Amino acid sequence: TVTVAQSNDLSGRLAPAELVTTTGVVEELRRTKEPEEVDLLKEAVRIGDDAFVWIQDRIVPGATEKEIALALEVRMREAGADAVSFDPIVGSGPLSAHIHHTPSDRSFNKGDLILMDFGCRYRGYCSDLTRTLVLGGASDEQRAVYDSVLAAQAAGIGAVMAGALGTDVDAAARRVIEEAGHGDAFEHGLGHGVGLEIHEAPRLSRTSEDTLMAGDVVPVEPGIYLEGFGGIRIEDCVVVTADGCEVLGSAPKDDLIEL
């Protein structure tokens, strides 16, 4: 980004050449990742996966969203992260339905859904992970919604490959949620690129204009958010290959975790 004064100065120095406003040039140059970059992203993802497993013993009745968010950050830094890639999201109970919830002083209660969206920056590269669990025994509705989100993520990941349209990948996951009766409760796009920034190209959404390329790294993150019930989101980073994709992490998700 340049200021007006800098632009005017450059115009004078470069005349008779003309400056043309453009966007996305640098971003496109670094959109697809080299193998060495994927290795750094894998380590950032591994640090986040470790933090998710570690934090579960600390999610108890009376703990607060702020306490868990701080603990996640400390754990990732102790494991080698340079920083968090964004302020951790920890939403509990009905507050988990707020997609970009800021952790509050709310204390956890039995039966709460607890949604955690967090990541770290390792040697400049950003990870992004979301998991949702329940404190105590899960209700039938909580399990059903979780299973719908998990199936939607599987469908989205299954649609990821070089040459796929961002709109088509989004539609594959969104269709599962619509068939479960919660189409209106999935209010954001399915994913976005990550790398040196936490939000990069390409986009996976209903309005995406991107076509996936081998070497793109994208989180796939469907969610269902119901007022009064809470929210469930599951997110993993994948690297696009010629005939599919590789999931970079291994944080548990096959069943709704009950603590």
**Is 138 a member of any domain?**
yes
pLDDT at 255: 98
Domain holding 88, by residue range, is 32-247
**Is 15 a member of any domain?**
no
Q: Is the pLDDT of residue 19 over 90?
A: no
Give alpha helix (H) positions in the chain: 4-14, 25-29, 35-55, 65-78, 140-159, 166-179
Grade residue 15 by pLDDT with cuts at 50, 70 and 90: confident
**Is 181 a member of any domain?**
yes
Q: Give residue 171's Cα distance to chain centre.
A: 17
**Is 11 a member of any domain?**
no
**Is 8 a member of any domain?**
no
**Is 13 a member of any domain?**
no
Residue 48, both tokens: 């986040």
- Give the whole-angstrom CA distance, residue 225 versus residue 185: 5
- Give the whole-angstrom CA distance, residue 191 versus residue 201: 10
**Is 3 a member of any domain?**
no
**Number of structural domains the chain divides into:** 1
For position 108, which CATH number holds?
3.90.230.10
Grade residue 1 by pLDDT with cuts at 50, 70 and 90: low
Cβ atoms 220, 205 nearer than 8 A: no
Closest by CA to 110, choosing from 91, 138, 132, is 138
**Per-residue pLDDT tens for 94-125?**
999 999 999 999 999 999 999 999 999 999 99
**Is 120 a member of any domain?**
yes
Write phi, then psi, for 232 (nearest 5 degrees). Answer: -130, 125
Cβ atoms 220, 107 nearer than 8 A: no
Closest by CA to 119, choosing from 89, 97, 99, 93, is 89
**Per-residue pLDDT tens for 59-96?**
999 999 999 999 999 999 999 999 999 999 999 999 99
